[in-house]
A and B are shown apart, each in its own frame.
Chain A
Amino acid sequence: MTTDAATIENVDRDPLTMDELAKVIARDIPEGSFVNLGIGQPTKIADHLTAEQGVILHTENGMLGMGRKAEGDEIDADLTNAGKVPVIETPGCSYFHHADSFAMMRGGHLDVCVLGAFQVAANGDLANWSTGKPGDIPAVGGAMDLAIGAKDVFVMMSLFAKDGSPKLVEACTMPLTGVACVSRVYTDHAVFDITPDGVRVRETYGISLADLRERMTIDLQ
Chain B
Amino acid sequence: MGRTAILDSTDEAVAGIEDGSTVLVGGFGLAGMPFDLIDALIRQGAKDLTIVANNAGNGEVGLAALLKAGRVRKVLCSFPRQVDSYVFDELYRAGKIELEVVPQGNLAERMRAAGAGIGAFFCPTAVGTPLAEGKEARTIDGRDYVLEYPIKGDYALIAAHTADRQGNLVYRKTARNFGPVMATAASTTIVQVADVVPTGDLDPEAIVTPSIYVDRVVQVEARHYTVQGAR
Q: What is A's interface to B at a CB cutoff of 8 Å?
A: 39, 59-63, 75-80, 83-86, 89, 95-99, 101-103, 105-106, 125, 130, 135, 137-145, 148-149, 175-179
Task: Using A85-B231, A98-B178, A139-B101 as known contacts, say yes or no to A79 and B80 having CB atoms under 8 A apart.
Answer: no
What's the A-B contact tally at a CB cutoff of 8 Å?
A: 161
**Cβ contacts under 8 Å, B101 to chain A:** 138-140
Cα of A177 to Cα of B125 in the assembled complex, Å: 9
Cα of A85 to Cα of B30 in the assembled complex, Å: 11
Task: Using A102-B108, A137-B89, A144-B125 as known contacts, say yes or no to A86 and B81 having CB atoms under 8 A apart.
Answer: no
Q: Is A62's CB under 8 angstroms from B174's CB?
A: yes
Partner of A145, one of B28, B82, B105, B225: B105
Give me 25 A-to-B residue pairs in the complex whose CB atoms sit less than 8 angstroms apart, sorted by A's number: A60-B104, A76-B173, A78-B32, A79-B175, A80-B28, A84-B227, A84-B228, A85-B230, A89-B173, A95-B173, A96-B176, A97-B180, A97-B208, A106-B124, A106-B125, A125-B128, A137-B93, A137-B99, A140-B79, A140-B104, A144-B103, A144-B131, A149-B125, A176-B129, A179-B127
Cα of A30 to Cα of B93 in the assembled complex, Å: 45
Quick one: CB contact mask for B171-187 with A, threshold 8 Å, 1 for yes?
A: 11111111111000000
Query: How far in angstroms is the closest Cβ of chain A from B91?
Result: 11
Cα of A73 to Cα of B82 in the assembled complex, Å: 26
**Cβ contacts under 8 Å, A137 to chain B:** 80-81, 89, 92-93, 99
Cα of A156 to Cα of B62 in the assembled complex, Å: 35
Q: What is B's interface to A at a CB cutoff of 8 Å?
A: 28-32, 54, 78-82, 89, 92-93, 99, 101-109, 111-112, 123-131, 144, 171-181, 208, 224-231
Partner of B231, one of A84, A130, A149: A84
Taking A142-B105, A179-B127 as given, write out 19 further A-B residue pairs in contact, using a Cβ cutoff of 8 Å, ordered by the A residue number. A60-B104, A79-B173, A84-B82, A84-B231, A95-B171, A98-B104, A101-B105, A102-B109, A103-B105, A106-B123, A106-B125, A125-B128, A130-B130, A140-B102, A140-B104, A176-B129, A178-B128, A179-B128, A179-B144
Q: Is B227's CB under 8 angstroms from A77's CB?
A: yes
Q: Is B29's CB under 8 angstroms from A80's CB?
A: yes
Q: Is B127's CB under 8 angstroms from A98's CB?
A: no
